[in-house]
Copies of this chain bind each other. A is one copy, B any other.
Amino acid sequence: MGRHNLEYPKNVHNTVKRYNHQADYSLRTIHTIINTSPILHVSFNPPSSPFPVILPLIGQMGSFSHPSADLSSPLDIYLHGYVSSRIMNLSRSSTGSEPPGLPVCVAASKVDGIVLTLTPNSHNYNYRSAVLFGYASLVEDVEEKLYAMELITNSVVPDRWRNSRVPPNAAEMSSTQILRVKIESGSAKVREGVPTDERGDLEDDAVTSRVWTGVVPMYEVLGDPVPGPYNRIEGIPEHVSEWRERVNGEGREYALEAAEKDAPVPGKKRVGV
């Protein structure tokens, strides 16, 4: 069995109950959704508050000990933050605890289309969503911190790191903090395909002759780059234009394909994204 079949074990915390034919536990699926999301939502519990807190952060799956590991391998998630933020302080103070680190949930979701059906109840999205559960602690090692900073920068725009002013200076290194989350479990849900409705509505001429059904694809677009006030470079550098072209092509293509696929069949296991 190839590594691409590795799955997170199911337990009470990560098992998907609703529409579980759309559930996916493969590392490749989950890690791909996390890595292609421009924003991650990270939840933690601050002390002395009844409410969990959600922070929008950027991050990326990675492995400092095996940097060439692919997305179907066991990986950590590295999150980028500011040194004095609450989640950083809590992670610092949890470092000596057992298990070490702050319990967090990391979520990423992407809407690929609006699925318009006969009745509001069966309306849906084509979407990809993933959650990971793990323990966050501060990266103290300078080499690992630089590895993660480069990983995260290049996840926003490929190859941006060496196309900007690096290495970070002392002030930048001390104001930036990186969290490493050791993953305990995770799951994904993916919906793609045409609308589905209940038989009662499908057989009701008065309904089908009145209600439009179909999918409106939804995708993110990177527009024409707008040079800043102190930019001195003519034209758009290759690493920026290539990235735009790829993101714009892939996003549109995925959403259009998802809109035309056969409807998901309950009980039939989907193939990962």
Contacts and interface: CB of A to CB of B under 8 A. Distances in A.
Interface in A168-200: 168, 172, 175-176, 184, 194-195, 197
Copies in the complex: 2
B103 A51 contact: yes
Contacts of A164: 116-120, 123, 211
A30 interface: no
A228 B214 contact: yes
Nearest to A248: B221
Given A18-B82, A56-B107, A222-B114, A228 B216 contact: no
A41 B41 contact: yes
A273 interface: no
Contact of A226 (B210, B237, B256): B256
B230 A197 contact: yes
Given A114-B157, A163-B211, A214-B225, A53 B17 contact: no
A223 B232 contact: no
A25 interface: no
Given A176-B121, A224-B217, A103 B209 contact: no
Contacts of A72: none
A50 B260 CA distance: 40
A202 B226 contact: no
A137 interface: no
Contacts of A123: 153, 156, 160, 164
Contacts of A78: none
Contact of A225 (B204, B216, B244): B216
Interface stretch (A2-10, A62-70, A126-134, A264-272): A126-134
Interface of A: 12-13, 17-18, 38-39, 41, 43-46, 49-54, 56, 82, 84-86, 103-107, 109, 111, 114, 116-121, 123, 125, 127, 129, 131, 133, 149-150, 153, 156-157, 160-161, 163-166, 168, 172, 175-176, 184, 194-195, 197, 201-202, 204, 207-233, 236-237, 240, 244, 252, 255-256, 259-260
12 contacts: A13-B49, A17-B86, A41-B54, A50-B103, A51-B105, A117-B228, A120-B150, A120-B160, A121-B172, A163-B212, A214-B228, A223-B256
Given A13-B49, A18-B82, A52-B104, 10 more contacts: A50-B103, A51-B103, A51-B104, A120-B166, A194-B228, A195-B230, A216-B222, A216-B244, A218-B222, A223-B259
